[in-house]
Amino acid sequence: MGGKNHKPHVGQRPGSARGGRPLVAIVGRPNVGKSALFNRLTGARLAIVEDVSGVTRDRLYADASAFGREYVLVDTGGFDPESDDPLRQSIAGQVRIALDEADAVICVLDGTLDPLEADRQAVALLRGTELPVLYVASKIDNPQRSIAAKALYELGFEHLFEISALHGHGIGELEQALIDALPEPAEDSGEPEQGALPRVAIVGRPNAGKSSLVNRLLGEQRQIVDARPGTTVDSIDTLLDVGGDPIVLIDTAGIRRKRAVEAGLEGLAVMQAIRAIERSGTVLLVVDATEGVSEQDARIAGMAIERGRAVCVALNKMDLLDAQARQRVEKRAKEVLSFMTWAPIKRISARSGHGIAALMQSVREVTACHRRRVTTAEVNRFFEEVLERHPPPTSGGRAVRLYYVTQARVAPPTFVVSTNHPDRVHFSYQRYVANQLRERFALHGTPIRVHYRGKS
């Protein structure tokens, strides 16, 4: 079945063409073991695994790594073209998710069964693409099942990875082939390119009004939304002048209506959002105020913060609410997004234009903060004041001394503190220093990083 050095015949995309961490999509019909493989590759029990067809309705995504290479794994819902359930009808839409946005695809097949029509359709759509596709026979945990899995070769692919996600069998070989198939990583200097325009990703749940906001900003009906299942709209980069400063908008507003027949496209929305966040410096999270801020919105924001992006939140459709409802929405937003109290939250109406100018001014400010550099002299003068007012507490009977601080990089602002005991600086004091840095140098709307290192 191919040794460790065997590589499936797959194409590769150039490493710098799309930017950020590569995306890997897991596709397959219901109950073939996609969620179990997702959990195994990410090293966490994130997906619900039940022996019931179609348990995974929502798309899941998580950061993963293998052999030192990081990537983003997306678990799509199962497709079944013979089902009456509209959530499973669009096999073409499901596979196009992978073809449109992913850098590689893992197609999971049930190794204990002969191929079904859904399997044939999936392989037919994936065959011939230059996108790397790895075909996996799941649930292979004994020799008898390995023999039975050979029936899948009638689908016409060259190589089949036999795995058991539950026991870990074959996972190492699959991961090695996946890493070999991914595009070469682009070099990251940690600084925006000289003269590079700021990139602002507009993300959010379906029907939040992202397209309407872009159309309002551009003053024209730029985004056309098609509600038919299987329709996809690529992310669009648009140059926009904001108060004399040019920025590039990355719009992922291809899907607006959250209908059951469009469930096959929600995975595309997630991957477009991830891709846009990876390519941006600032993330503009658009929320439908009539529905309120959800945990999904918080996950998108958290994903942006983990990647060091500046964040601004727009509560759209506020004109449809009365005064009391607006207060409830804002209170709920602050509760759900309590982990990013530094991010501005703005009321807007993309339809009427209310609040758009203030929103874009806020985007402009957080983008500038994200790229702000403080001189070593300034930051150390500040640091002396902080130490005088509130020196670090002793730890384990040992005095913790902080000697100096310097800014190592921007986007996000990252500081390095020299200390005699980096492992003894209490987390509450670390938080205090970070808050003081943010307040002193007006680092609003951007995450900041503070690293503590030994004096040597």
Domain 23-181 has CATH 3.90.1150.10: no
CATH of domain 199-370: 3.40.50.300
What superfamily does domain 376-454 belong to in CATH? Answer: K homology (KH) domain (3.30.300.20)
Lowest-pLDDT range of 40-49, 264-273, 292-301: 264-273
Identify the pLDDT of residue 190.
Answer: 54
The CA distance from 119 to 108, in Å, is: 9
- The pLDDT mean for the chain works out to 81
Check whether 14 has a pLDDT greater than 60. Answer: no
What's the pLDDT score for residue 135?
97
Average pLDDT over residues 143-172: 94
Predicted pLDDT at 418: 94
Domains 23-181 and 376-454 share a fold: no
Question: What integer pLDDT is reported at residue 106 of this predicted model?
Answer: 95
Q: Select the more confidently predicted residue: 240 or 326.
A: 326
User: Does residue 55 surpass a pLDDT of 90?
Assistant: no
Q: How would residue 355 be classed by pLDDT, with cut points 50, 70 and 90?
A: very high
| pLDDT bracket for residue 72 (50, 70, 90) | confident
> What three-state secondary structure class fits 105?
strand
Containing H/E element for 283?
A: strand 282-288
Q: What is the DSSP letter of 169?
A: B
Confidence tier at 6 by pLDDT (50, 70, 90): very low
- 409 or 11, higher pLDDT: 409
> Could you tell me the pLDDT band of residue 436, with boundaries at 50, 70 and 90?
very high
Provide the pLDDT for residue 21.
82
Q: Assign 31 a pLDDT band (cuts: 50, 70, 90).
A: confident
For 249-295, the pLDDT digits (tens) are: 887 743 333 343 344 445 556 666 787 888 899 999 999 999 999 98
> What is the model's pLDDT at position 5?
40
Cα separation, 104 vs 101, whole angstroms:
9
Q: How many CB atoms lie within 10 A of CB 241?
A: 10
For every residue of 424-452, DSSP letters joined together read: GS-HHHHHHHHHHHHHHTT-TTS--EEEE
Q: Average pLDDT in the 399-406 region?
A: 91
What 3-state DSSP class applies to 325? helix
Q: Copy the structure tokens of residue 168.
A: 């870990």
End-to-end CA distance of the chain: 52
What is the CB neighbour count within 10 angstroms for residue 109? Answer: 27
Note the Cα 158 to chain centre separation in Å: 32
Going from N- to C-terminal start, the domains of the chain cover: 23-181, 199-370, 376-454
Angle at 300 between CA 295 and CA 303, to 5 degrees: 120
Segment 411-422 shows an average pLDDT of 94
Nearest CA to 253 out of 291, 298, 205 is that of 205
Confidence at residue 80, expressed as pLDDT on a 0 to 100 scale = 54
Contacts of range 390-395, beta carbons closer than 8 Å, 24 or more positions apart: 390/432, 392/425, 392/426, 392/429, 393/426, 393/429, 395/421, 395/424, 395/425, 395/426
One DSSP character per residue, 385-407 reads HHHHHSPPPPBTTB---EEEEEE
Which residues are paired to 412 by β-bridges?
none
437 in Cβ contact with 334 (< 8 Å) = no
Interval 77-130: pLDDT, tens: 655 555 554 444 455 565 666 677 789 999 999 999 999 988 998 898 888 788
The yes-or-no verdict on residue 151 having pLDDT over 50 is yes
